[in-house]
Amino acid sequence: MTRQSLLILFCFLLAALVIGGIFRYPLVTDDPYITYRYARNLIQGAGFVFNTGERVLSTTTPLYAIVLAALGFFYRDIPALGYWLSVVSYGVAAFLLYVLAGLALGGAAMGEPRAGIAAINCIASHKPLLAMTRKGAFVGIIAGALLLVSPALVMTFGLETGFYLMLGLAALCAYMLGRVTLALVLCALLTLTRNDGVILAGILALDYVWRNWKLEVGNWRLEIGGWKLEVGNWKLEIGNWKLEIGNWKLEVGNWKFALPHSRTTAPSHSRTIVFLVYLFTLFPWFLFSTLYFGSPFPFTLAAKIAQAQSGLWDPFAIGLFKWARDNTLSHNTLSHNTLSHNTLSHNTLSHNTLSHNALWLAPLFAFALIGIVWAVRKKSRVLLLLAWAVFHLVAYSLLGVAFYPWYVAPLIPALCFFAGIGVIQIAETRFIAQNRLLLRCHFEAELRRTASPKSRLCAPLRFLASARNDKGLNSYPNRFLKYGVIVLCALALVGIEIRAALDAGMTKPSPKVEAYQRAAAWLAQNTDANASVDALEVGVIGYFDNRRTVDFVGLVDPMRVPYLRAREFADGVRRAHAEYVIAIPPDAWLPADVWFKDAYRAVQQIRVNGFYGGRPLVIYERADVGHTPIETRDLDAAFEKRIQLQSVEWFAREIERGAILPLRLHLRALDDAPIPETWKFTLQLVGAENRVVAQTDNFYPARLPEDGKPFVDYQAIPIPQTAPAGAYDLILAMYDVQANERLSYYDANGNEAGDFINLGKIRISR
């Protein structure tokens, strides 16, 4: 690489670092920390896991996590490493767009089949990269600048998105340089960064086959790239309309008589090896992940599909349309819909919003459309970049995953690149680049400065001569107008993007991150090291609390996906029965749930300015935390021969007024049939004359395992302050709400034993 190329790369990297310093607080604040925790655990020897001992592939970017872990051996601040690695990756990606512009518009005429050969020679020789063409330089600079300040990408600083785009653009540049093997190796690394990297690999493979694939069977020969067909001595070429029969050759341009061409084809095995390079590069990871996790694919894909199936998240196609039209994503936004019981609330707040995406997307798309039209007309190979963007959007739409703004990342480089071409095309229109009025004004000014009468006499002839050739039309005034239009259009596009990014509030600390960090700090200081934590978003909390952490939506806890799909989030929390549950204001369904209200108690509230309008983040603690079971009673009772109650664990035989009496039930489903949703548990403290002084009623938790495996269900009975002191019977029963009757239970011998179980005496003290 030449000095000038290094200078350009340095400028892009410097610009990226400046932008990264300005927009230090991206909107995507939580997801990167999931990957950061994988990297930290790998450094600390805990394995490639999120929770120690639980081999679940919850990071979508294993390669990025491994790179962070490798760098983390030298600098342990993983979040800082991840952020600046992402920023630097964007700087390199901007430079690669510059190189791509040189390959597409360099040397030969724009769009010719061999366009870019001069650019390749520049890179391989001592010629500076800027010497390719001014057009390529302008397009590359504009595209790189638009990429660096794009609000859709700035919001992802810290994610693997920049690293992903850098690898994808590097693969595309390598392919256009003819380095097919290198391109496929980079595509393999791209796939390890995110599985959807296989899309670009497929596009490049298909293009390679289209241009090079040949089939010969006896005297039959078929070439796809060039549309050639040979059968014996018959030859047909569609490209230049050639027809050969024996020694006779017909060409549309010229009539020629020639001998048949000798056929030289590349060995088929060499083309096969090129494709195997991609698989060989992926094989070590596929082998390791299959043995280690049970599957080479991140589990998060199932969770993201379930999110869309729940109806609480927009499917990708619908979400993309809404995002392009108007986005209200902010530091406090979760992309949720409406609040309802036992469903996840997706309220959106307008504070610090990245609103009206159409305001910066519309002009970018308009210029990009002009560039796309040019590329299509010229049949430029740079259309591969557009194909990557389009097929990426189509693939995500067909997968049916939930929409997240950072999923549109591959679309942005294509828009920026073709917008750069569009700016150049507008500047090269006849009205701007060949404006005769400007030439005439320039001529008259020169005429006034001409002192010699003879020169004045010959001036009209010089004007007519210059006006009839490109040299005259490329005079200083026209060049000034053309370059002025380029600069003004580029500044307008960049300015609109910067304004949108500034309006999003990414220059100020995120109140959500502060709230999560304070919650994690409280957990680290006030809970046991082996405690478990459950929350909606677990990236920041899980990274800083150093506790076993699971989430409501199944990103790190596969067991939660069925609850997510069915919108039974409270039952998912019940199934996980973490010792601590963190609820943010949109999780209002959680404290309203009857079971949760009795089983957990609020122990800490955290308020942060700008966080959901000042409403608190609440940390709940399970009622039995800090208590040890004092007794286990084996029961082996079965309600309606469907639900087996194996045993009950007691934590106290005496309880004070205002306290909570916890119990731990060991249950097992006896068949695979779903349990009716109208069945309820009830636990009651019953005194004289069947007077109930305390009780809890809650529905049997839906979608619990029906595979015969036992599970634990936590119950808690709140004791009222007004409860009279004394001894009471603890009654456990199940009843059908719809039928308004208790369910029978059967003993170990299968005999009906009644409709409730007396667990023993409990004393309420003063």
Average of pLDDT values for 653-676? 87
| The one-letter amino acid at 600 | Y
Determine the pLDDT at residue 568: 85
Query: Does residue 220 surpass a pLDDT of 60?
Result: no
Determine the pLDDT at residue 348: 37
Average of pLDDT values for 177-188? 92
Determine the pLDDT at residue 356: 74
Q: How many residues does the chain have?
A: 766
400: alpha, beta or left, given left = phi > 0 and alpha = psi -120 to 50? left
Determine the pLDDT at residue 430: 61
Owner of token pair 């030859």: 235
Q: Tokens at residue 26, please?
A: 């991206």
Give the list of residues 6+ apart from residue 415 with CB closer than 8 angstroms, or none.
146, 361, 364, 365, 368, 389
Determine the pLDDT at residue 588: 83
- Decide if 96 contacts 170 (C-beta within 8 A): yes
Determine the pLDDT at residue 547: 92
pLDDT level of residue 35 (50, 70, 90 thresholds): very high
Q: What is the pTM of this model?
A: 0.82
Determine the pLDDT at residue 548: 94
Class of domain 631-765: mainly beta
Query: Does residue 482 surpass a pLDDT of 70?
Result: yes
pLDDT level of residue 96 (50, 70, 90 thresholds): very high
The better pLDDT of the pair 456, 51 is held by 51
pLDDT level of residue 24 (50, 70, 90 thresholds): confident
The better pLDDT of the pair 162, 458 is held by 162
Q: Tokens at residue 88, please?
A: 């630097």
pLDDT level of residue 450 (50, 70, 90 thresholds): low
CA separation for the pair 521, 130 (Å, rounded): 52
- Out of 243-252, 308-317, 416-425, 716-725, least confident range: 243-252
CA separation for the pair 543, 317 (Å, rounded): 32
Query: Does residue 354 surpass a pLDDT of 50?
Result: no
pLDDT level of residue 647 (50, 70, 90 thresholds): very high
pLDDT level of residue 264 (50, 70, 90 thresholds): very low
Query: Does residue 718 surpass a pLDDT of 60?
Result: yes
The better pLDDT of the pair 304, 112 is held by 304
Element (H, E) at 120: helix 117-124
Average of pLDDT values for 101-114? 57
The model's pLDDT over 244-261, given as tens digits with 9 standing for 90+, comes to 554 444 454 443 433 333
Average of pLDDT values for 485-489? 87
Sheet with strand 220-223: strands edge to edge: 214-217, 220-223, 228-231, 234-237, 242-245, 248-251, 255-257
Closest by CA position to 330, among listed 24, 606, 26: 26
Determine the pLDDT at residue 349: 34
Determine the pLDDT at residue 27: 74
CA angle, corner 703, sides to 700 and 708, nearest 5?
90
In whole numbers, what is the pLDDT of the chain averaged over residues?
A: 81
CA separation for the pair 478, 489 (Å, rounded): 16
The model's pLDDT over 300-318, given as tens digits with 9 standing for 90+, comes to 888 899 888 888 889 999 9
Share of the chain above pLDDT 70, in %: 77
Query: Does residue 142 surpass a pLDDT of 90?
Result: yes
Average of pLDDT values for 283-290? 94
The better pLDDT of the pair 278, 254 is held by 278
Determine the pLDDT at residue 455: 53
Q: Tokens at residue 402, please?
A: 């939930």
Cα distances (Å, whole numbers) of residue 587 to 340, 451, 509, 535, 563? 10, 85, 23, 10, 15
Average of pLDDT values for 484-507? 88
Cα distances (Å, whole numbers) of residue 508 to 88, 136, 514? 21, 37, 12
The model's pLDDT over 729-748, given as tens digits with 9 standing for 90+, comes to 999 999 998 888 999 999 88
The sign of the torsion formed by the CA atoms of 198, 201, 203, 209 equals: negative
Determine the pLDDT at residue 414: 96
Determine the pLDDT at residue 333: 42
Give the residue extent of every domain in the chain. Answer: 3-210+270-298+357-425, 214-264, 428-503, 511-622, 631-765
pLDDT level of residue 351 (50, 70, 90 thresholds): very low
- Decide if 486 contacts 138 (C-beta within 8 A): yes
Query: Does residue 645 surpass a pLDDT of 80?
Result: yes
Query: Does residue 120 surpass a pLDDT of 60?
Result: no
Query: Does residue 329 surpass a pLDDT of 50?
Result: no
Query: Does residue 436 surpass a pLDDT of 80?
Result: no
- Out of 322-336, 516-530, 581-595, 617-631, least confident range: 322-336
Query: Does residue 399 surpass a pLDDT of 50?
Result: yes
Determine the pLDDT at residue 137: 86
Partners of residue 632 on adjacent β-strands = 649
Average of pLDDT values for 588-592? 86
CA separation for the pair 318, 413 (Å, rounded): 22
- Decide if 717 contacts 697 (C-beta within 8 A): no
Owner of token pair 């305001």: 359
Query: Does residue 405 surpass a pLDDT of 80?
Result: yes
Share of the chain above pLDDT 90, in %: 43
Query: Does residue 201 surpass a pLDDT of 60?
Result: yes
Query: Does residue 62 surpass a pLDDT of 90?
Result: yes
- Decide if 436 contacts 401 (C-beta within 8 A): no
CA separation for the pair 698, 638 (Å, rounded): 18
User: Could you tell me whether strands 757-765 and 726-736 are parallel, antiparallel, or unpaired per DSSP bridges?
Assistant: antiparallel
Determine the pLDDT at residue 214: 55
